[in-house]
A and B are shown apart, each in its own frame.
Chain A
Amino acid sequence: MTSAVSQSTRKSPPATGRLDVRRIREDFPILDTKVNGRPLVYLDNAATAQKPRIVLEAMDRYYREQNANVHRGVHHLSVVATKAYEDARLRVQRFIGAECPQEIVFVRSATEAINLVAQSYGRPRLRAGDEIVISAMEHHSNIVPWQMLCGQTGAILRVAPIDDAGELMLDGYEALLGPRTRLVSLCYVSNALGTINPVGEAMELAHARGIPVMLDGAQAAPHLRLDVRALDCEFLAITGHKLFGPTGIGVLYGKRSLLEAMEPYQGGGDMIKSVTFEKTEYNDLPHKFEAGTPNIAGTIGLAAAIDYVERIGLEAVAAYEDGLLRRATEVLSAIPQVRIIGTARHKAAVVSFVVDCAHAHDVGTVLDLEGIAVRTGHHCAQPVMDRFGVPATARASMAFYNTMEEIDALADGVRKVVKMFG
């Protein structure tokens, strides 16, 4: 370590002691993995988080002891599986503070949640010339579904600007809200920059004009407490795999009155009350939006992940991760060739950076050989890369099982990059 870095690390406060990270790490079997003969340093949590043992066990138990289809049998296992599935919904409902389980729709991912709103809420309502407002820091999954909707309806996509720190410019955003704005869809936390958006203010500005708001909570859920009643958002998208749960399961929260008024997204089994060739009567909420056999094991895994996160406590997580973020910002900034992309005042534990002399992919490969997993590329947010004039960044994204030593290993790895390519 260079002296500049060790000096600055001495100044930084010690990690908040409330998390027993060593114990927590034992709950995640994959963290014992060796990569290229080195202990894995997993700093790609914004892409997907690792899964604690209780998630793996809950899913395993489901397939070993409870497997049956839901809502369609009187036999014992079907009753057990249905209960587990509906209990998972209650778990999610409590986790995000929704008023009733009818407001919780299980989907495949955050991506599907956003597509559902675009097609079921947006498509029948939007007319040519209507407007949808997003921000310049959205993930492709909060851009493309709206572009498709615009293509179908003639609506126009408006993009609220961000500044050089990667913060949403509220003035510019407000200026876009007009008489034709039918919906706002914003990320709560940006995956590429780590920015935590002032969603409260953004929503007030929209609500004052009667405009409903969808929040993309994919990156927020693992770091912040989401309380949909306090937030008062109309829709919220969450994805299970970033929340220490399995892939293939996500959640759409919607205010009940809105969901009631919406047409189904897909047709099939489970979403109907009665079907004849002349007429089909749709099922009640939330089943109306859950056509076909759902990802039952996924919901059970997600519920277990939520239990796990709740047990640790999101407040403790936020405090601990803030320490990791500050350390990462400090040690990486101490390397002269490094430039951090995304320096918002309020950030989740995500540090996107470029190294002067090396392309992000070369950074990624050198770090990989040290056992350090970071994401490199455009992070499914090409407009963000364009905004900052870089083709790609390397991104370290932290979770509560990461340690200060791992952050220092990252900085050591980046110094190797500089030595090699500088």
Chain B
Amino acid sequence: MMEDLHDLYQDLILDHNRRPRNKRLVIDADRKAEGYNPLCGDRVTVYVKVDGDRVVDVAFEGSGCAISTASASLMTESVKGKTLTEAKSLFRRFHGLITGEAEESRDGPGLGKLEVFSGVCKFPARVKCATLAWHTVNAALNDERDPVKTE
């Protein structure tokens, strides 16, 4: 039982929950999107700065559970420095990992640190927590104006 618990709440996740990286307002963001999980009330705002087709800064604000906070934090670390195309591909592969439909990830490069979320697919009730920040950054990258809902 405790194994399952630590499969989900791995140390890296607990660490990013306690000390989220890039959790800040970016006043001069080029793109911004809001995500909302109506089921649990989690909210996240993601800010993105792009230079040409490269993401030069990503940050987030919001409150949520450990999974959603750590996921947002790790998302910012992984997306920063990527091209727009690379970032979107990362989103798709991360989504595959979390929902247990990970075929795509076999072709592409590994997910690195993001693999700590692989335990989430065993907890269907928590999948949306892990993907909220990713759906939101994807919307920001696509410059969508409507708030993202994980429904």
Contacts and interface: CB of A to CB of B under 8 A. Distances in A.
Q: Say whether A associates with B.
A: yes
Contacts of B125: 365
A362 B67 contact: yes
Contacts of B39: 377
Interface in B99-147: 123, 125-126, 129
A197 interface: no
Nearest to A37: B1
B4 A361 contact: no
B66 interface: yes
A421 B42 contact: no
Give chain B's interface secondary structure class: helix
B47 interface: no
A365 B126 contact: yes
5 contacts: A359-B63, A361-B65, A362-B67, A391-B42, A391-B64
A120 interface: no
Nearest to A366: B5
A359 B64 contact: yes
A361 B40 contact: yes
A230 interface: no
Contacts of B9: 362, 420
B72 to A, nearest CB: 13
B45 interface: no
Interface string A335-360: 00000000000000000000000111
Contact of B65 (A359, A378, A382, A385): A359
Interface in A10-51: 36-38
A421 B17 contact: yes
A378 B41 contact: yes
Q: Closest 3 interchain pairs by CB?
A: A359-B65, A361-B65, A391-B41
A285 B40 CA distance: 41
A38 B41 contact: no
B67 A361 contact: yes
Contact of B8 (A36, A38, A365, A377): A365
B40 A392 contact: yes
Contacts of A370: 1
Contact of A392 (B4, B41, B126): B41
A359 B1 contact: no
Contacts of A376: 40
A369 interface: yes
A369 B6 CA distance: 11
Contact of A359 (B2, B4, B66): B66
